[in-house]
């Protein structure tokens, strides 16, 4: 069986370092591993419209931002198919058929939908499109026969729901669709990178992000303002690591060889942590180290992005080509789905013969 990746993001803003460690970095590694037969990276504009119906311009403006961030991180159009969800009408048709396989109460139990409804104060007036987006996400994944979906932890319920739809479809209509596996980051700190204020999640609406396109000076300012241990008042005081954002970021980003470069008094992160807990290590020193670590990771991304920004028509051309290619694959799956559901009447010679026979006596 081919190994196929499908994943993507809603274009509602520039991508930040939470996206990067949670999924983007891994995608690039998987792309370059050569282990996968096909890699589809989707800009989920149609899904973004399910909770931005009144603000379509935001979605429209951010498609290019996400594409630039993708390519700046190393997603390579020669190796991965980058495309825009709304350009694949086959996904709508698949969703429409999958809707018959999912109950309202099952959708209501989807934890991601539940928490998003709460976050957006949607309780009183949930739009149907938003409520059913897990079904459309199942269409995204299955249309490309994805075996592997590298995403953040918050997407786990979506993949679970997709697997249920696949299972139901295959048991009603015969083996047609592929059950996907989720691929989570293996580093705990990357699963849910907190914002610079230490709040649970990095998110644009909370204003606590470091963006991939951020200028070097702004990165430094943000790192220096990061939430640490509020009880760690004097350098001599013992410091706590739990909930200490600076250390969570170091867990997510720092490599052992960076100690030699920037902080040679310590061999590795464990030694640095031990000193912090013991007391005698100030926040500023740790923050300066983190700043160096982040600058090293983000500088090449920012530079590549600036290069790409010089030729925006090329980036749209990449998305156009990718969308054409993706559409062919989705159309093939849709024709298999139609055949399995036996709604391919005009190519079903047996059906036509049987109906003729019925009326021939
Ligand atoms: N739900 C994802 C997000 O919020 C975006 C998305 C849409 C997606 N369809 C997908 C991710 C299919 C993985 C697979 O970022």
Q: Do the bridges between strand 81-84 and strand 38-43 make them parallel or antiparallel, or are there none, so unpaired? A: parallel
Say yes or no: CB of residue 7 within 6 Å of ligand 1. yes
Q: How far is CA 49 from CA 12, 18, 75, 126, in A?
A: 9, 22, 24, 13
**Inter-residue contact 291 to 49 (CB < 8 Å):** no
* Rounded distance from Cα 7 to ligand 1 centre (Å): 6
**Candidate from 70, 84, 113, 140 with most ligand 1 atoms within 8 A of CB, to mutate:** 140
Say yes or no: CB of residue 69 within 6 Å of ligand 1. no
* Rounded distance from Cα 132 to ligand 1 centre (Å): 13
Q: Phi-psi region for residue 342, left (φ > 0), alpha (ψ -120 to 50) or beta?
A: left
Say yes or no: CB of residue 6 within 6 Å of ligand 1. yes
Say yes or no: CB of residue 151 within 6 Å of ligand 1. yes
* Rounded distance from Cα 82 to ligand 1 centre (Å): 14
Residue 136 tokens, joined: 């459309």
pLDDT at 125: 83
Closest ligand 1 atom to Cα of 6: 14
User: How wide is the angle at C-alpha 246 spanned by C-alphas 242 and 251, nearest 5°?
Assistant: 75
**Candidate from 4, 6, 9 with most ligand 1 atoms within 8 A of CB, to mutate:** 9
* Rounded distance from Cα 277 to ligand 1 centre (Å): 39
Say yes or no: CB of residue 263 within 6 Å of ligand 1. no
Query: What torsion do the CA atoms of 185, 191, 196, 198 make, to the nearest 10 degrees?
Result: -160
- Encode burial over 214-231: b for 16+ CB neighbours within 10 A, e otherwise: beeeebbebbeebbbbee
Ligand 1 atom 8: residue of nearest CA: 8
* Rounded distance from Cα 9 to ligand 1 centre (Å): 5
pLDDT at 361: 72
Say yes or no: CB of residue 140 within 6 Å of ligand 1. yes
Q: Which helix (H) or strand (E) segment is 52 a member of? A: none
Say yes or no: CB of residue 47 within 6 Å of ligand 1. yes
Say yes or no: CB of residue 246 within 6 Å of ligand 1. no
**Sheet order of strands, 38-43 included:** 81-84, 38-43, 4-9, 148-150, 181-183
Say yes or no: CB of residue 333 within 6 Å of ligand 1. no
pLDDT at 112: 87
Say yes or no: CB of residue 220 within 6 Å of ligand 1. no
* Rounded distance from Cα 318 to ligand 1 centre (Å): 20
Q: In this structure, how many other beta carbons lie within 10 angstroms of the beta carbon of residue 57?
A: 8
**Inter-residue contact 239 to 277 (CB < 8 Å):** yes
Say yes or no: CB of residue 137 within 6 Å of ligand 1. yes
Say yes or no: CB of residue 143 within 6 Å of ligand 1. no
Q: Residue 45: which residues within 8 A CB-CB, separation 6 or more?
A: 10, 11, 59, 60, 63, 84, 85, 86
**Inter-residue contact 90 to 327 (CB < 8 Å):** yes
- pTM (predicted TM-score): 0.94
Q: Is 69 exposed, middle or buried (0-12, 13-18, 19+ CB in 10 A)?
A: buried
Alpha helices in 74-215, H assignment, sequence order: 90-98, 104-109, 111-119, 128-131, 133-143, 156-173, 188-191
Residue 49 tokens, joined: 């419209």
Q: How far is CA 303 from CA 20, 23, 68, 70, 72, in A?
A: 16, 21, 11, 13, 8
Q: Residue 70: which residues within 8 A CB-CB, separation 6 or more?
A: 15, 24, 41, 82
Residue 84, SS3 per DSSP: strand
pLDDT at 124: 73
Which regions in the chain score pLDDT beneath 50?
none
Say yes or no: CB of residue 51 within 6 Å of ligand 1. no
Say yes or no: CB of residue 10 within 6 Å of ligand 1. yes
């Amino acid at each position: 069986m081919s190994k196929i990746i499908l994943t993507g993001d809603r274009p509602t803003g520039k991508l930040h370092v939470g996206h990067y460690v949670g999924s983007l970095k891994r995608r690039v590694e998987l792309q370059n591993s050569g282990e996968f037969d096909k890699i589809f990276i989707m800009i989920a504009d149609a899904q973004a419209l399910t909770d931005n119906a009144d603000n379509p311009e935001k979605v429209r403006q951010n498609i290019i931002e996400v594409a630039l961030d993708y390519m700046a991180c190393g997603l390579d159009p020669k190796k991965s198919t980058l495309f825009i969800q709304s350009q694949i009408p086959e996904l709508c048709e698949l969703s429409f058929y999958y809707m018959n396989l999912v109950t309202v109460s099952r959708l209501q139990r989807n934890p991601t939908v539940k928490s998003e409804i709460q976050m957006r104060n949607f309780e009183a007036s949930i739009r149907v499109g938003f409520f059913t987006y897990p079904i459309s996400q199942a269409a995204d994944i299955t249309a490309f026969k994805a075996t592997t979906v590298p995403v953040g932890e918050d997407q786990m319920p979506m993949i679970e729901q997709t697997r249920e739809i696949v299972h139901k479809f295959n048991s009603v209509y015969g083996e047609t669709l592929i059950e996907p596996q989720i691929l989570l980051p293996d580093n705990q700190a990357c699963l849910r990178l907190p914002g610079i204020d230490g709040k649970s999640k990095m998110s644009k609406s909370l204003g606590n992000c470091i963006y991939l396109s951020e200028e070097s000076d702004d990165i430094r300012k943000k790192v220096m303002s990061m939430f640490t241990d509020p009880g760690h008042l004097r350098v001599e005081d013992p410091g706590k690591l739990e909930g200490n954002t600076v250390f969570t970021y170091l867990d997510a980003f720092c490599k052992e060889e960076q100690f030699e470069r920037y902080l040679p008094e310590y061999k590795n992160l464990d030694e640095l942590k031990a000193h912090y807990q013991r007391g005698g290590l100030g926040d500023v020193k740790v923050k300066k180290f983190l700043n160096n670590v982040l600058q090293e990771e983000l500088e090449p991304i920012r530079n590549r992005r600036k290069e790409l920004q010089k030729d925006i028509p090329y980036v749209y051309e990449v998305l156009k080509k990718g969308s054409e290619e993706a559409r062919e694959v989705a159309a093939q799956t849709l024709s298999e789905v139609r055949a399995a559901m036996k709604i391919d009447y005009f190519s079903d010679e047996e059906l036509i013969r049987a109906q003729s026979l019925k009326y021939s006596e």
